[in-house]
């Protein structure tokens, strides 16, 4: 996407909502599945962390190392490393979401808009491309 990201769309369109330090749940050394309060999480907008209850000393969790996130459903699944790191701490999430539009739908809309802008302007503002124009050398009589 040359002109915008899904996160920029969420932030600038007025459709995105930001959730800060949502209490997702408390670990018990067994449970691996947790759900965010909202689905349609936007790529590049989410941070998961954990902390002892009533503490503001958060430790970040790393995606794929500690957890996986299904952005459309808001479902978090802790990996074995995540389960061990979280222990009995509280899991917190900060993220943007757009009600009614998944990240992939927004991405497709932006991609279509990118193509339309390229077509209207006759230029590609993203990845460089080469174009060969052929001219016969004769003037156009008009």
pLDDT at position 126 is 65
User: Would you put residue 40 in left (φ > 0), alpha (ψ -120 to 50) or beta?
Assistant: left
Residues 18-49: pLDDT tens digits?
A: 999 999 999 999 999 999 999 999 999 999 99
Residues 58-107: pLDDT tens digits?
A: 999 999 999 999 999 999 999 999 999 999 999 999 999 999 899 999 99
Mean pLDDT of 127-132: 69
> 106 vs 127, which has greater pLDDT?
106
Q: Compute the distance between CA of residue 8 and CA of residue 111 in angstroms, rounded to an integer.
A: 14
HSE of 50, CA atoms in CB hemisphere, 13 A: 20
Cβ neighbours of residue 73 closer than 8 Å, sequence gap 6 or more: 35, 39
Q: Compute the distance between CA of residue 124 and CA of residue 117 in angstroms, rounded to an integer.
A: 8
CB-CB contact of 71 with 40 (8 Å): yes
CB-CB contact of 47 with 28 (8 Å): no
pLDDT at position 40 is 96
């Amino acid at each position: 996407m040359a002109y915008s990201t899904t996160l920029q769309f969420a932030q600038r369109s007025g459709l995105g909502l930001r959730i800060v330090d949502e209490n997702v749940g408390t670990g018990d050394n067994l449970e691996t599945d947790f759900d965010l309060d909202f689905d349609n999480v936007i790529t590049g907008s989410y941070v998961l962390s954990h902390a002892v209850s009533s503490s503001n000393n958060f430790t970040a969790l790393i995606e794929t190392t500690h957890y996986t996130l299904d952005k459309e459903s808001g479902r978090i699944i802790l990996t074995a490393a995540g389960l061990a790191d979280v222990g009995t701490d509280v899991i917190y999430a900060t993220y943007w979401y757009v009600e009614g539009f998944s990240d992939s739908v927004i991405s497709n809309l932006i991609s279509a808009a990118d193509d339309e802008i390229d077509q209207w302007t006759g230029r590609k503002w993203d990845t460089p491309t080469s174009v060969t124009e052929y001219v016969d050398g004769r003037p156009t009589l008009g």
